[in-house]
Amino acid sequence: MLGQYFNWRTLLALVAIGIVTGTIFYSNYLAGKIAKDERMKVEQWVEAGKFLINAPVDADTKLPSLIRNEQKSIPIIETDEKDSVVSFINIDSSKIAEDPGYIYKKLKEFKGQNPPIILQVSKEPLLINKYYYGSSFLLLEIRYFPLAQLLVVALFIIVTIVSLQTRNKSTQNQVWAGMAKETAHQLGTPVTSLQGWVEMLKETPGSEQISTEIEKDVKRLRLVSDRFGKIGSRPQLEPHDAVKQVEEMVEYIRKRATGKVHFEVLKNSQEMVAALSPPLFDWVIENLLKNALDAMDGKGSIKVQMYNEEKTVVIDVSDTGKGIASQNLNRVFKPGFTTKKRGWGLGLSLSKRIIEQYHKGQLYVKHSELGKGTTFRIILKK
């Protein structure tokens, strides 16, 4: 059971998650150390300022002055006990000139980041100075680095998944095309041979009816072979009457269905010309009609409605069968999906490929309801 889900992709994802998680924890650890170090630097800066103010005339002020002058990374705002700004360092003065309220916005921001350092100036009256400070650029980089890394890893995973899906789809298409062409090749020899036997049978007295029926089946086999031969190569699309193509396929399926199935073709125009490859388009209509028959278990009605629109021809194939469960609507066109006991589940998948890749149209489930039926819609460009 575990082996089904644990593969190299899962291992790769776990390694990526482990690396990102470790980086986040380590970055937080570093950020904490840097934050403590920066608070210590601000405290030293405040104490150095206090010493310079109260230092005797002959005191050595070299070190305090160095501490004050070298503080160029941490932004600090000095306020009085009423939080009125007294002075500031390492804050862009040009922004303050453009917006006088900018310094108080920064003050509010600093209050949310760190508790202030308080310096008592005098006891009576009680005067204090507060020193609010923000994060240095280095600390901000450390804190936001994991987010940037997460974004890079996410993009990497997305690109990898898309690449794998594209490669798998390309491989799948090549396999399908190869199987289809090999099938057409294998059918070619016996079909040609059968055609010769049919011609000989026609010359035999009393076998006219048999030879006629066999010839129809041989033509059918040749059509199937032609369809498979066109898979994998770009078919020539030419203007054809979609109404004629649909009616011929409906009539073909009608003769092979039980008398309990009612067929109906409705159209708002007697002729609807669209760019088609007749053998492949017929295959799609045949697949949809056969699926409708299977869904109805031999009784019900199949209705084909055709709409001649300004730039498209729309074809709806509806049945009164068992319908498709909502959880399966997104899977009906995937290779291998089938609810029947027999079959490979390739009919609808091939149909969608024929309409969307070869004819540049659309094929989708317009509506389906369990126990009431399903409607497939085809949209073709004129």
Q: Give the residue-averaged pLDDT of 292-315.
A: 91
Q: Which residue has the higher pLDDT, 151 or 178?
A: 151
Burial of 177: CB neighbours in 10 Å, binned 0-12, 13-18, 19+: middle
Q: Residue 380 forms beta bridges with which residues?
A: 313
Which stretches does DSSP call E strand in the chain? 76-79, 85-89, 117-122, 127-133, 238-241, 261-267, 273-276, 300-308, 312-319, 362-369, 373-381
Higher pLDDT, 293 or 189: 293
Note the pLDDT tens digit of each residue in 245-297: 999 999 988 988 888 899 999 999 899 999 998 888 998 999 999 989 988 88
Place of tokens 């294998």: 186
The first and second tokens of residue 28, run together, are: 């937080």
Alpha-carbon gap, residue 109 to 103, rounded angstroms: 10
Per-residue pLDDT for 16 more than 80? Answer: no
Q: What is the pLDDT of residue 232?
A: 61
Band of residue 318 on the pLDDT scale cut at 50, 70, 90: very high
pLDDT at 5: 52
Higher pLDDT, 120 or 276: 276
> How open is the CA angle 312-360-266, to the nearest 5 degrees?
35
Question: Which of 295 and 184 is assigned the larger pLDDT?
Answer: 295
Q: What is the pLDDT of residues 319-329, one digit of tens each?
A: 999 988 888 88
Q: Of 66-80, 102-116, 207-221, give the lowest mean pLDDT range.
A: 207-221
- The string of pLDDT tens digits covering residues 139-170 is 888 888 878 877 887 888 788 888 877 887 77
Q: Is the dihedral of CA 188, 191, 196, 197 positive or negative?
A: positive
Predicted pLDDT of residue 11: 78
> What is the average per-residue pLDDT within 41-61?
84
Question: How does DSSP classify residue 326?
Answer: G
pLDDT band at 339 (very low <50, low <70, confident <90, very high): low
> What mean pLDDT, rounded, does the chain reach?
84
d(CA 381, CA 372): 30
Which of 84, 78, 74 lies closest to 129 in space, CA to CA?
78
Flag whether pLDDT at 55 surpasses 50: yes
pLDDT in tens, 340-381: 655 455 678 888 988 998 899 999 999 999 989 999 999 999
Looking at residue 1, its pLDDT comes to 43
100-109: long-range pairs with CB below 8 Å, 24+: 103/77, 106/75, 106/77, 106/134, 107/77, 107/79, 107/83, 107/132, 109/134
Record: fold of 235-381: Heat Shock Protein 90 (3.30.565)
Which has the closest alpha carbon to 30: 117, 115, 140, 114? 140
